[in-house]
Amino acid sequence: MLLAIAWVLYFCLHSLLAATPVKAAVAARLPRFAPAYRLAYNGVALAALLPVLWLQWKLSGAPLFDVSMPVRLACDIAAVAAVVAFLWTLRWYDMGAFAGLRSEAADGSTGFTLSPLHRHVRHPWYFLALVIVWTRPMDAAWLVTAIAITLYLVVGSYLEDAKLVDTFGEPYRHYRERVPGLWPWPGQSLSAAEAAGWMASHAGPGAVSTEGTRKG
């Protein structure tokens, strides 16, 4: 229960600081600080996460169930593959702007563009996070953490979709109808040719996901 409360408080803080009204209020009252808001936000999010992770480690105990070696190996391979895939996706994102080291405004106006993973799932970083979370050894504390993270990512994906509909309008609505949000499904993806056609029709630098800032 204590760990669940800690995750709820962390996610509330994380979402509150990321909210557009909060960022707008900071920009209005502290205009000189506004360009550094993203960097400060990331620093606060990391600092606030550390005690939650410490509590998770402190409450860890015996596994809830035993798994065979082949299953354990398959889970580890899936987790490693997810980490590799995440690192591979970084080439399509402007990590300087995402980390707050450079203003996102310097990238110019946003446009509807698709990375390879976005052809199969609308929020690839969330999908990869779920793979990692649910392939780790499961004790009571980690089960609470996995459920908390999953619920947050599900809610976050809906909020991001709403924001992206406001940003991109009809193109993103069509994209949302074709591509699943958190988990790829056979037959629900865009081919390379389809993605190229969509990008040609709605060209411009930017990204379809607010998980990071797409390179132009």
- Tell me the β-bridge partners of 93: 214
Q: 36-45, 86-95, 141-150, 199-208: lowest mean pLDDT where?
A: 199-208
In this structure, what token pair is assigned to residue 102?
């450079």
| pLDDT for residue 27 | 87
Number of Cβ within 10 Å of residue 141's Cβ equals: 18
Residue that the structure tokens 């895939």 belong to: 85
Share of the chain above pLDDT 70, in %: 86
pLDDT band at 49; cut points 50, 70, 90: very high
Q: Quick one: pLDDT at residue 203? A: 54
The CA-based diameter of the chain, rounded to the nearest angstrom, is 58
- Residue 108 pLDDT grade (very low, low, confident, very high; cuts 50, 70, 90): very low
**Nearest in space to 185 (alpha carbons), one of 115, 119, 113:** 119
Contact, 184 vs 120, CB < 8 A? yes
Residue type, 18: A
Type of residue at 119: R
φ/ψ of residue 180, rounded to 5? -70, 160
Cβ neighbours for 38, distance < 8 A, ≥ 6 positions apart: 97, 98, 99, 100, 104
Neighbours of 127 (CB within 10 A): 22
Could you tell me if 104 and 206 are in contact, meaning their C-beta atoms sit under 8 angstroms apart? no
Residue 123 has pLDDT above 60, yes or no: yes
Nearest alpha-carbon partner for 132 in 157, 156, 111, 150: 150
Among candidates 35, 20, 23, 25, which has minimal Cα distance to 163? 20
The residue length of the chain stands at 216
Q: How much is the average pLDDT of 135-149?
A: 95
Average pLDDT over residues 120-140: 95
Among 22-31, 88-97, 110-119, 198-207, the range of highest mean pLDDT: 22-31
